[in-house]
Structure 1
Amino acid sequence: MPDPPPEHRPERRPVAGSIRELAGRIGVPAFVAVCVDLLDGAPRERYVEELRMLTGHGWRPGDPVLDHDAWKDHWVRSWGARGLLHVWSDAATAAVVRGLEDEHYRPAEMCLKVATRHDVAGAGDGAARLAGHALPRVRVQALRCLAVCGDREHVGAVRAGLDDDRADVRRQAARAWEALERRLDLGGGRVGP
C-alpha cells in the first residue's frame, strides 16, 4: 500500500522535543501536573491539546487516538509517564511509584524507565516486583531500575535475574549486580543463594 499524500499524513514530530516544548509553554509545574493526572487515569478528552505534544501525533476530530477501542486507556497512562521521562520534577515521585503497580505492563514499564533516568526515590520495591514479570522486556527494565534505585532488600530480585532463562535478562542482571555491588559495597563476587 503506497504512503498517503503529505496533506493526508498524520502530523508526526520528535516526541522528546515536543514534550519539552509543551513544558516550556505551560511551565514545568503545570506540565508535571498534567502528566501525573494522565498517569493516574485522567480521561484523554481532558488533555487533547497536551496529548498532541506528548504523543507527537497531530490529533484531529475523528483521529483513532481518541477512540478508546483503538487506543486503550493504558496508552494514555503510558503517555503521561513518558512526559515525565523527558521533563522531571520530584513532585511526580509518588505517581511514578504508584505507576509501577499499573495493571498493564506498558505504563509500569514506562515508570521503570522514568525511575531509572531520574533515580526516583521509593521505586525499588516496585522494580523488584516487576523483575519477576512474565515479559522479559519488563524484567530487563526492572533490573536496569534496580541498578539505580535498588537497595539491599532488592538484592534477591537481582540475584534471581542472574539465573533467568533469557540471556538478555541475565546480562542485565549481571550489570545490575555490578552496579549494586559498587553502590552498596556488597563485597566482591556473586552472592550465593
Structure 2
Amino acid sequence: MSERESPRDVVRAACAAYGEDAVTDWCVAFLGGEISGEAAYGAELPKLVAITGSDNPGGWKSPVDPVNYYWIRVWAARVFLYVWRDDVVDVLRRAADDPAWRVREHVAKITAQRELGQLVDALLPDLGHELPRVRAAVVRAVGAAGEFEHAEAIRRLADDPDQTVRAAVERALTKLEERLDRPVH
C-alpha cells in the first residue's frame, strides 16, 4: 500500500482485480487460520499483497518472525469494514476470542459498523481489557448493536479512568436508547 492508498482503496482494487467473493474467501481463510502465517508469507503471499497493497505490509525483515503473524488476521479482519458477506459472521465470532487484542478490536469495530447484534455477547469480555482503545471499541459495538440487557455491562464503565471510554459509554447508552426506543438507565 503506497502512502496515498487508503486501506479502503486497496480493498477496492483487490475486489476489482479478483472479485469480492475471492477476497472475502481469502480473508476468512486468513482470519480463521486456514491459511497459516507461514503460508501467508510464502505460497499465499499474492493474497496478502492484494489485501494490504504491499509485499511486506509489516515492514519486517525476512523471514518474518512468527510473533508477527497475528497481523495477517488483523489485516484480514480490516477488509470486512469495506467488503461484506453474511457468512463472515461465523469467523468473526471465533475471532472475538483471538489471542491478539488488535484482532478483537477489529471485530468490535466491524460489529459496530455493521450492527451485528449476534456478536455482542462474544465481545463483552473485552470490556475489562487493559487497553482503553479496546474497551472503547467494545462499548461502541454494544451501543450500535447491543440490546437492553447489555446496557448494564457498559454502564459499569461510566467511571472508567480513560476519558475516551467514558465518552464512548455516554454515546453508546444514548445510541442504545434511540435504537431500542426505550430508556436504558
TM over 0.5: yes
- Bigger Rg, which one: 1
Unaligned runs of 5+ in 2: none
Could you tell me how far 1:56 is from its partner in structure 2? Answer: 2.7
- Note if 1:100 corresponds to 2:96: yes
Displacement, 1:127?
2.5
Alpha-carbon distance, 1:70 to partner: 7.1
Q: Name the counterpart of 1:119.
A: 115
**Aligned match of 1:144:** 140
Amino acid at match of 1:55: T
Instruction: Determine which of 43, 49, 70 is the counterpart of 1:52.
Output: 49
**Distance of 2:181 and 2:154 partners within structure 1:** 15
Aligned residues: 178
Q: Is it true that 1:159 corresponds to 2:171 in the alignment?
A: no
| 1:36 Cα deviation after fit | 0.7
User: Cα gap change, 1:158/1:39 in structure 2, threshold over 3 Å: closer, same or farther?
Assistant: same
Query: Cα offset for 1:68?
Result: 3.4
Deviation, structure 1 residue 102: 0.8
> Does the CA contact (< 8 Å) of 1:147 and 1:179 recur in 2?
yes
TM-score, length basis structure 2: 0.86
- Counterpart in the other structure of 1:183: 179
- Match among 7, 26, 30 for residue 15 of structure 1: 7
Work out the percentage of aligned pairs sharing the same amino acid: 28
TM-score (norm 1): 0.83
Letter in structure 2 aligned against 1:138: V
In 2: Cα distance, 1:96 partner to 1:15 partner: 19
Q: Does 1:28 align with 2:25?
A: no
2: CA distance between counterparts of 1:97 and 1:35? 14
The 1:37/1:59 distance shift into structure 2, 3 A limit, reads same
User: Do structure 1's residue 76 and structure 2's residue 68 form an aligned pair?
Assistant: no
Which string of whole-angstrom CA distances, capped at 9 and with x for unpartnered residues, describes residues 43-76 of structure 1?
Answer: 213431121132232449xx73763317612101
Which amino acid in 1 is paired with 2:25?
Answer: A
Local SS of the residue matching 1:177: helix
Equivalent in the alignment of 1:5: none
Output the CA distance in 1 between the equivalents of 2:62 and 2:18. Answer: 22
Q: Say if 2:117 and 2:146, in contact at 8 Å, map to a contact too.
A: no
Alignment check: 8 A CA contact 2:136 2:168 kept = yes
Query: Unpaired runs of 5+ in structure 1?
Result: 1-9
Q: 1:53 to 1:15 in 2, by over 3 A?
A: farther
**Per-residue deviation, 1:135:** 0.7
Q: Deviations over 1:121-142 (max 9, x none)?
A: 4111123222221110000111
3-state secondary structure, aligned to 2:54:
coil
